[in-house]
Structure 1
Amino acid sequence: MQNTPIEGFTPETPLILGMMRLHDHPELTRPAKLADWVSARVDEGLTVFDHADIYGAGECERLFGDALRAHPALAKRVRVITKAGIVPAGKDRSPWQVKHYRAEAGYLESAINKALASLALEQIDTFLIHRPDPLLQAGEVARVLENAVSSGKVRQIGVSNFLPDQWRWLARNTDLPLVCNQSQLSLDHTGPLFDGTLEAHLTDGMRWLAWSPLGGGNLAERIPADVLDRAQQETGLDETALAIAWLRQIPGTPVPVLGSMNPDRIHSALQGAQSLLPRPLWYRLLESVRNRAVA
């Protein structure tokens, strides 16, 4: 039986393409080249692109926006997630020069307006608070997010790297639904499957957007060669596709946020997202990376 995703996070997509490393690809810094790359991904059915205001110190949003400005029709074909709330130490204007969080009403309002300008968009599809902030004033932040949605600047809101009680406190202070939580999950990071975090997502209707879904690209080092070879022979999937298929089989159908911009890697990930692993193989891969037998 195919897994059933949580309702709420739309548009439904098998993969989200993360733009964290966009500035590391000189060949894509020209607007026309990036527009061609984006268009090719959209033609593959991948229309959701993930940003944050700190990616490339803001360069990633600007480069993406330059591509959309050069090809305005493309803006109608994409959905963009972006996040704000982290201030790196190098961007701290105070004498302390410390990394800190700013999930503050005024800061987030400014970040939304800046993202719209940088990305050359009329609307951000999904806006996320990037990290839980112990100083967050939930009611004040909720009003800013509600205003952003009611004005059409943002379509829907969510969080990133929040634990259940952290997102529930924000949710109690707003009538807006929190549609997703973007946090780490992969074969290389399975703890949230066993500590109640998965069930909290399911209970609260939060779609899990899984960052680092390939475990940093080192799964081949974690899975014994004979297991990997046999899995590839049985399924016809390479290492990337196996990791994505494994992830998508989890209840609620987490959506991988893929950091690679390599078209071949993206194609493999898409193949994995459309595949179903035999249950014993799913557990054998889990057992391999955890380096201990299933209890």
Structure 2
Amino acid sequence: MTTPDRLDTPLLLGMMRLNDYPELADPQGLLGFIERCVERGLTAFDHADIYGLGHCESQFGAALRLQPALRQRLTVIGKADIVLKPQDRSRWQVKHYDTSAAYLRRAVEGSLERLGIERLDGFLVHRPDPLMQVEDLARTLEALQAEGKIGWLGLSNADPLHWRLLGEALPLRCNQIELSLMAQDAAWDGRLQTMQAEGLQALAWSPFAGGRFPAGLQQALANVADALGATPNQVALAWIRRLPGAPVPILGSLRWSRVEEALAGASLALDTQAWFYLAEAARGVEAP
């Protein structure tokens, strides 16, 4: 089975918190932000149907409608299968996952309508579903591809057995995982090497751990930043890129100053000792 090409970008921009930025609430303001990103070579935008209960997609779509030609320069990624409590129409009102054909078709078509586009360039299964029927899911995704509604495929938060099962039926490009100095497990348990060996590109969500770096780690980041003439945030992203497969960080902040800072540090490289120094500062223990 042919492995799809890698996403060639220094960063992805995550749209989960789009509603948190008043300056981007106006379609014209968001359009200007998107255009600035494209000018800097940042063209991949990571969406999901649950972000803002669909409002983030609608907001992004309203901006694109002001400049339809811009769509051709963007990579728009969508995700689905998580159903939050407010979206559950059953009597149980429970968060759950749904990889049924009927649900995924409604989710994809809903995302396309809100975004005002004809196709998601990439589509990811958002969370492993314990009730997933692999053959049914594969047929559903193949049908959506054949209809031109989705492009390449990937997974999010998947472990090896999950991606191997679906990968036997479909070519998968990537797997989004939580990865940061505060979420290091994939760096130590072999998942990243396995993904690299099996042709899956790693995309790292929450690369700054939601801003929850403890004081000791913040000081270690500052020490390395001073030594390299960089900023602590640039160093934290470089720590991720130093890992096998050079994972691509998904930036959750949409402040333009944070985006520029991240782009300016995209070529920063850490040596082995600096990587382990930071890993130890975050974990609180030496390497095994």
TM-score by length of 1: 0.93
Alignment correspondent of 1:96: 92
Q: What SS does the corresponding residue of 2:31 show, helix, strand or coil? A: helix
- The one-letter code of the counterpart of 1:46 is L
Change (3 A) 1:213 1:9: farther
Alignment correspondent of 1:129: 125
Partner of residue 189 from structure 1, selected from 183, 188, 194: 183
State percent identity of aligned pairs.
45
Alignment correspondent of 2:272: 279
Contact 1:220 1:228 in 2 (8 A): no
- The one-letter code of the counterpart of 1:180 is C
Instruction: Determine whether 1:216 maps to 2:207.
Output: no
Structure 1 residue 282 displacement after superposition: 1.1
Q: What SS does the corresponding residue of 1:252 show, helix, strand or coil? A: coil
Q: What SS does the corresponding residue of 1:210 show, helix, strand or coil? A: strand
Structure 1 residue 275 displacement after superposition: 1.0
CA distance in 1, matches of 2:218, 2:227: 16
Instruction: Determine whether 1:146 maps to 2:139.
Output: no
Q: What SS does the corresponding residue of 2:279 show, helix, strand or coil? A: helix
CA distance in 2, matches of 1:278, 1:117: 46
Q: What SS does the corresponding residue of 1:17 show, helix, strand or coil? A: strand
Q: Over aligned residues, Cα RMSD in angstroms?
A: 1.4
Instruction: Give unmatched runs, 5+ long, in structure 2.
Output: none
Structure 1 residue 196 displacement after superposition: 2.0
Contact 2:181 2:282 in 1 (8 A): yes
Change (3 A) 1:10 1:139: same
Structure 1 residue 228 displacement after superposition: 3.2
Structure 1 residue 271 displacement after superposition: 2.6
Alignment correspondent of 1:3: none
Partner of residue 226 from structure 2, selected from 230, 233, 240: 233
Please give the per-residue CA displacement for 1:74-98, whole angstroms capped at 9, x wherever unaligned. 1111111110001111211111111
Change (3 A) 1:228 1:156: closer
Runs of 4+ off more than 4 Å? none
- The one-letter code of the counterpart of 2:272 is R
Contact 2:218 2:232 in 1 (8 A): no
Structure 1 residue 224 displacement after superposition: 5.7
CA distance in 2, matches of 1:224, 1:133: 36
Contact 2:155 2:163 in 1 (8 A): yes
Contact 1:219 1:239 in 2 (8 A): no
Alignment correspondent of 2:36: 40
Change (3 A) 1:258 1:224: closer
Alignment correspondent of 1:160: 156
